[in-house]
Structure 1
Amino acid sequence: MRNCFLSIWGIIDPIYYFFSRLTVIDKEKQSVFRVRLTRYKGAQIILSDGTKIKKNDVLVKIHLHNIKLMRELRTIESAVRKGMIIYQKVYISMPLLVDYISKHKKRDDIKGIIGITMLHKGVERLGFEVVKPSNHFYRFFKKVTHLPILYLTSKQFNAQSIPNSYYLLISKEKLQQKYQKRG
């Protein structure tokens, strides 16, 4: 059943990619990120470096390329090993994200990076800050939309114990300080 669902997702993913206005950040497709610019709509957040994220600020919204990751990880049994591989792939993608932003025509308007995920353990080492979305409806909506990912990646899927989704945020300046290639 999971393989069938994964195959269907593989067919639907390019359609989703097209309609969601996502962009691949590197030509070699080494990154696990697909991104788009967005305007932040939540409550004000002050990051640890003092950056204020306010309503309508321009952010780069990152999406993990889930189907790509699931195909690469499907033979790995250990959840810990899967987590380590995802962490490494995100770490490798961070400098590519810096390059993408530095070349973007709206680079001066971009205030930071945002993602929303159930996978938030250890992201502080990558420079992200974890923030719970304040809107209850949005949190419920994200739980529902993350169900297919949870179903495909969990051996013991339980709809009653769906983890909460959190924002992952990092300011553009912190991202550049941590990941910009020095040359």
Structure 2
Amino acid sequence: MNIRGFFLVMWNLWDPIYFSMTRLRYIEREGERTIIRARLMRYRGKPVVLSDGTVIGKNDLLIKIHLHNAKLLKELQGYNHEIAKGKAIYRHVRETLPSVAAFLESHRRFSEIKGIVGITTLHKGSGKLGFESFPINNRLYKYYKLILLFPIYILSSQWFFKQKMSKPAYLFMSKNTLLQRYGK
């Protein structure tokens, strides 16, 4: 078994355990599970001001979105080129954001939630979807996330040993932007 196969097996074993230990919920579209899972969280980072004027500060409520990496990796196996993989991820996220908006609108704490956040190395092109990218300033947390995301990098990149891994960043979208772009 090669290193990519090893990491894929390990990731598929770890994912259900991780899911059961977190408060993640599947985001569904037309009864089908999408590539995004979400949970409510309190923001712990430095304050950020989004382009629409929304200020996200310490302890503000956000919906944290997670890509379902195991599912995504299965769907990307048929793609041989990095650009095609990037376009497929972009399309999956774009198609899922209306369901994220519906999840937010139906949440019992809707009025308290300021927006959505994700942490990813896949932040190129995210602005077209309405996200705003901010660096992770806490070095320990940034390296912790880098270590956690490294297996996905190995599994998703055809030439992982030749490319430098992007640094993880916060992706924010305010509640207003999400609902204006993707709400009903």
Structure 2 length as normaliser, TM-score?
A: 0.93
Structure 1 residues 1-183: aligned runs within 5 Å:
1=2, 2-26=4-28, 28-158=31-161, 161-181=164-184
1:105-153, CA deviations, whole angstroms, 9 ceiling, x for partnerless residues? 1111110100000001111110000100121111111111111001111
Hey, what's the Cα distance between the residues in 2 that align with 1:160 and 1:124?
A: 23
User: Following the alignment from structure 1 to structure 2, what is the Cα–Cα distance between the partners of residues 146 and 137?
Assistant: 14
Deviates more, 1:153-162 or 1:18-27: 153-162
Report the secondary structure of 1:41's partner residue.
Answer: coil
* Structure with the larger strand share: 2
Partner of 1:59, secondary structure, is strand
Kindly indicate whether the alpha-carbon contact (under 8 Å) linking 2:43 and 2:57 is maintained by their aligned counterparts in 1. Answer: yes
Q: Which structure 1 residue ranges, 5 or more long, are not aligned?
A: none
Give RMSD over aligned pairs. Answer: 1.5
Q: Report Cα offsets for 1:30-56 as digits up to 9, x if no partner.
A: 421100111000000000000000000
Please tell me whether the aligned partners of residues 44 and 54 of structure 1 are also in contact (alpha carbons under 8 angstroms).
yes
The ranges of structure 1 where at least 4 consecutive aligned residues each deviate by more than 4 angstroms after the TM superposition are: none
Output the CA distance in 2 between the equivalents of 1:87 and 1:130: 15
Letter matched to residue 78 of structure 1: H
Separation of aligned partners in 1, 2:98 and 2:151: 29
- Whole-angstrom distance in 2 between the partners of 1:159 and 1:76: 18
Q: Distance in 1 between matches of 2:167 and 2:32?
A: 29
User: Structure 2 vs 1, CA of residues 22 and 78 (structure 1 numbering), >3 Å: closer, same or farther?
Assistant: same
Identity of aligned residues (%): 42
Comparing 59-68 with 154-163, greater Cα deviation is found at 154-163
Q: Deviations over 1:148-176 (max 9, x none)?
A: 00111112223993220010000001100
* 2:34 match: secondary structure: coil
Does the CA contact (< 8 Å) of 1:31 and 1:92 recur in 2?
no
- Aligned residue pairs total 181
Q: Which runs of 5+ in 2 are unaligned?
A: none
How far apart in 1 are the matches of 2:146 and 2:120? 9
- Matched position secondary structure for 2:52: coil
